[in-house]
Amino acid sequence: MRFSDQFLDDIRARLPVSHVVGRKVALKKAGREFKGLSPFKVEKTPSFFVNDQKGFYHCFASGEHGDIFKFVMKMEGLTFPEAVERLAGEAGVPMPREPVRDEQREDERARLYAVMEAAAVFFRQTLSAASGMEARRYLDKRGLSGDIIARFRLGCAPNSKSALREHLAKAGFTAEEMIAAGLLISGEDIPVAYDRFRHRVMFPITDLKGRVIAFGGRALDPDAPAKYLNSPETPLFHKGAILFNAANARGPAHERGRVIAVEGYMDVIALAQAGFVECVAPLGTALTEDQARLLWRMAPEPILCFDGDGAGRKAAFRAVDTVLPHLEPGRSVSFAFLPDGLDPDDLVRRHGPEAMEDALGAVRSLADVLWDREWSAGDWSTPERRARLESGLRALVARIEHPTVRHHYERDMRDRLFRAWRSSTPRIGAARAGAARAGAGGAQSGLGSRGKARGEGRFAASVAIPPQAGSSLKSSALVAGLASAPPREALLVGMLIDHPWLVEEHAEEVAALPLTSPGLGELRDALLAAQSGGVALDSRALRSQLSEIGLGKVLALVERVAVHGCDRFARPDAERAEVEAGWRHTLALHVGQIGLRHSLDAAERAWHEDGSEDSFARIRELQGELARMSSADDTASETESDGPV
């Protein structure tokens, strides 16, 4: 549901940010703010600040920024409505009434939750009874303790077609409700509906609120046709949208910054007993898109853990196709393959938790697994076959929806192809390799200039590795970003130094200011840190403090580049209103220029893909706009060199 601004503001007014954040972060008073170690990144020096007056937190180490709702979402993996409900209860603010719903439908769902809970209690009682002896022996053989059995509410379905039905009927539930919940099997050719789960160890499956919505059953009879049996799809349960143990795992996952997805119930339970409480599992199916999104709510890079055998690798390869379109900056998956074809349960029982931790420490990236899958799928010893590999990789990478992530995957795959072709050239034969080099006119890629002129695909074009910088160049001021800087960026940072009040008044805009110069970015961060200290500094004291921490060269760069005589608003003696207006105008121009550069990157990618005149015209148009903006910067720089206006 949607929440009004007044309702959210009421919660914010009753819960200071420091109160909510202080449950997770040890905060110390620092002037008008609080500071502490970042909860988002390991660090030794505090870079995390909380401002109750302005109602936000900001982490300079990770760039995270937000209010109490975002903090709870980030730290506990909740959705926005869940975070609102949690904080509203804490603040004593009653939740708004939801729109009138179909009361009959709501009552039916409530009855389904109730019958599933009653079934879970029945299975737990059966496990403790004489009829549960075989199930208890099985769980003991698997090495499960009484505590872990109780934590996961494991149970036993008796070897009877009517035991559960009769028990639930005595509790007041109808056969129709049991059928709707997936507990009974019925049909036109079945006179009396009977228990779905019989003679099995039972694993309750819960939703994110911990309510039982389904069951998984492991057969105790070795001749049973299905070793594992799950509940069918019901109004409560959609197996492709939930993960086993998600409710219990998401809290620890956020605390540890890690979530591990394994293949089965017993893997999750065995790992939880070994201390890996942040584990989940799909429900008898390959990983789905909904399950991947649920994993990303728990951690930015979930670990998909598979057995090291052929079946495990096939499952990993299927997962690649599932998650590839949905990658975003900072959001991916990694893969852990277990040794000797062992599953997690076997690994921790035979070799202990340390062996599992070692496997998790050797994770492989999604790009690595994607490349291995495609490279191992064929023989690439001829030009035609190599072209097929390049075409296939290009099609796969094109499925990535986020343009920046797609761009980096394109570059990564080009580099891998270059290294692969270079290392395989001697095996093609010396004569053919020499002829290829001669025909290429010296081009390492083996493509003529005519092919490159039309931009025949990001992969098929030149894939030469860029030259490496020498040690003298690496240590030079140019590479360090201190020799020059974009004039407009230097102007903006120079204004912050000459008018420190801008940093306080526009802290959020300053923190989000896009800077291409590393030196200026470091200076901006130091300005924000100085302002967060709570001590009002004038420009002279601020310069002295920045010089003392080693930023004197960057200050000199700003003064050299950003002295715009024509920009009266940037002068140290300019009126406050004039400075404010000049800051907003210059910032808008800068952000606009950055946007044009992003648009130009997108236009170039479009031209590489289709080679059309429209795409080329768009590139020239954007280049012209950028040139005009750069010319304005150059003109301003030349004006100040002629003397003050």
Q: Where in the chain is the domain with CATH 1.10.860?
A: 487-641
Lowest mean pLDDT among 85-99, 253-267, 514-528, 550-564: 550-564
Confidence at residue 498, expressed as pLDDT on a 0 to 100 scale: 86
Q: Which has more pLDDT, 590 or 468?
A: 590
Confidence at residue 532, expressed as pLDDT on a 0 to 100 scale: 62
Print burial letters for 587-604: b (CB count within 10 Å at least 16), e (below 16).
bebbeebeeeeebbebbb
Residue 225 phi, psi (nearest 5): -65, -30
Which range of 294-303, 418-427, 463-472, 504-513 scores highest in mean pLDDT? It is: 294-303
CA distance 6 to 14: 12
Total Cβ atoms within 10 A of residue 298: 25
CA distance 254 to 278: 9
Residue 474 has pLDDT above 50, yes or no: no
**Structural tokens at position 62:** 């990770």
List, in sequence order, the alpha helices (H) in 77-189: 80-91, 103-128, 133-141, 146-151, 163-170, 175-180
β-pairing, 33-36 vs 228-230, is unpaired
Side-chain-side CA neighbours of 189 within 13 Å: the count stands at: 0
Does the domain spanning 246-371 belong to CATH 3.40.50.720? no
**Structural tokens at position 34:** 């609080």
From the number of C-beta atoms within 10 Å of its C-beta (0-12, 13-18, 19+), residue 113 rates as: middle
Of the candidates 283, 212, 252, 244, the residue with the CA atom closest to the CA atom of residue 77: 252
Confidence at residue 632, expressed as pLDDT on a 0 to 100 scale: 54
CA distance 439 to 201: 68
Residue 439 phi, psi (nearest 5): -65, -25
Q: Where in the chain is the domain with CATH 3.40.1360.10?
A: 246-371
CA distance 198 to 524: 66
From the number of C-beta atoms within 10 Å of its C-beta (0-12, 13-18, 19+), residue 84 rates as: buried
Q: With pLDDT > 70 as the criterion, what percentage of the chain qualifies?
A: 82
Confidence at residue 511, expressed as pLDDT on a 0 to 100 scale: 81
CA distance 457 to 157: 59
β-pairing, 48-51 vs 56-59, is antiparallel
Chain segment 357-378, per-residue pLDDT in tens:
999 999 999 999 999 999 998 8
CA distance 71 to 64: 9
Q: Given strand 48-51, what is the order of strands in its sheet? A: 28-30, 33-36, 48-51, 56-59, 65-66
Side-chain-side CA neighbours of 484 within 13 Å: the count stands at: 4
CA distance 16 to 493: 31
Residue 485 has pLDDT above 80, yes or no: no
Q: Which has more pLDDT, 523 or 536?
A: 523
Residue 397 has pLDDT above 60, yes or no: yes
Contact predicate 348/336, CB 8 Å:
no
What is the arithmetic mean of pLDDT over 292-299?
A: 89
DSSP letters, 209-262, are TS-EEEEEEEESSTT-S-SEEE----SS--GGG--BTHHHHHHHHHHHT--EE-
**Structural tokens at position 321:** 């196709």
Contact predicate 198/158, CB 8 Å:
yes
Arithmetic mean of pLDDT over the chain: 81
Contact predicate 296/329, CB 8 Å:
no
Q: What is the DSSP letter of 421?
A: H
Confidence at residue 409, expressed as pLDDT on a 0 to 100 scale: 94
Contact predicate 65/59, CB 8 Å:
yes
Residue 454 has pLDDT above 50, yes or no: no
CA distance 329 to 344: 30
CA distance 542 to 531: 10
Torsion over CA: 390, 392, 398, 404 (sign): negative
DSSP letters, 311-374, are HHHHHHHHHHHHHGGG-BTTB--EEEE-GGG--HHHHHHHH-HHHHHHHHHT-EEHHHHHHHHH
CA distance 532 to 58: 10
Placement of tokens 């580099």 in the chain: 415
Placement of tokens 């692969």 in the chain: 420
- Indicate the class that CATH gives domain 103-237: alpha beta
- Indicate the class that CATH gives domain 5-91: alpha beta
CA distance 278 to 217: 22
Contact predicate 496/510, CB 8 Å:
yes
CA distance 409 to 371: 11
Chain segment 200-247, per-residue pLDDT in tens:
999 999 998 899 999 999 999 988 888 999 999 999 999 888 999 999
Q: What beta strand segments (E) does 31-109 contain? A: 33-36, 48-51, 56-59, 65-66
What is the arithmetic mean of pLDDT over 577-588?
A: 84
Chain segment 2-46, per-residue pLDDT in tens:
788 778 888 887 888 998 998 889 998 888 789 999 988 888 888
| 487-641 topology per CATH | DNAb Helicase; Chain A (1.10.860)
Q: Where in the chain is the domain with CATH 3.90.980.10?
A: 103-237
Residues forming beta bridges with residue 379, ordered by sequence position: none
Between the alpha carbon of residue 204 and those of residues 151, 157, 362, 385, the distances in Å are 11, 12, 32, 50
